[in-house]
């Protein structure tokens, strides 16, 4: 939300993140920090971060689609990522970071 009242689209949210996170080491939460925007073949960028594991990145489509679902009143959690992206045994920190970004930005 902008100023607590206007919902932004998933694409606008992604663009907001691109502007807000731009310095290697910016603190997210816990042991997680922003690393960089990782260029992908599709001319988009994934949100790359450091944490307890080797570098990981959250794809643009995860951020955009999850934010749009959240705006429509959907619940975004690990189960949603499992179902929506058809992952099995989805147990990695990318979903947690994506959820945190949506809930805290």
pLDDT for position 72: 94
Distances (CA, A) of 99 to 2, 42, 102: 18, 23, 5
pLDDT for position 14: 97
Burial 27-41 (b: 16+ CB within 10 A, else e): ebeeebbbbbbbeee
The dihedral of CA 19, 25, 26, 31: what is its sign?
A: positive
Say if residue 5's pLDDT is above 60: no
What single DSSP character describes residue 75? -
> Edge to edge, what strands does the sheet with 45-50 contain?
33-39, 45-50, 56-58
Say if residue 53's pLDDT is above 80: no
Higher pLDDT, 57 or 2: 57
Banded model confidence at residue 3, pLDDT cuts 50, 70, 90: very low
- Whether 84 contacts 65, CB under 8 Å: yes
Say if residue 2's pLDDT is above 50: no
The dihedral of CA 84, 86, 91, 92: what is its sign?
A: negative
Per-range mean pLDDT, top range of 2-6, 39-43, 55-59, 91-95: 55-59
């Amino acid at each position: 939300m902008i100023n607590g009242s206007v919902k932004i689209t998933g694409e606008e949210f992604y663009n907001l993140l691109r502007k807000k996170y731009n310095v290697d080491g910016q603190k997210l939460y816990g042991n997680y920090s922003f690393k960089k925007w990782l260029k992908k073949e599709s001319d988009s960028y994934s949100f790359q971060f450091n944490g307890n594991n080797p570098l990981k990145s959250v794809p643009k489509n995860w951020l955009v689609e999850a934010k749009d679902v959240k705006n429509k009143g959907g619940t975004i959690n690990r189960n949603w990522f499992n179902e929506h992206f058809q992952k099995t045994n989805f147990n990695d920190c990318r979903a947690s970071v994506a959820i945190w970004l949506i809930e805290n930005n």
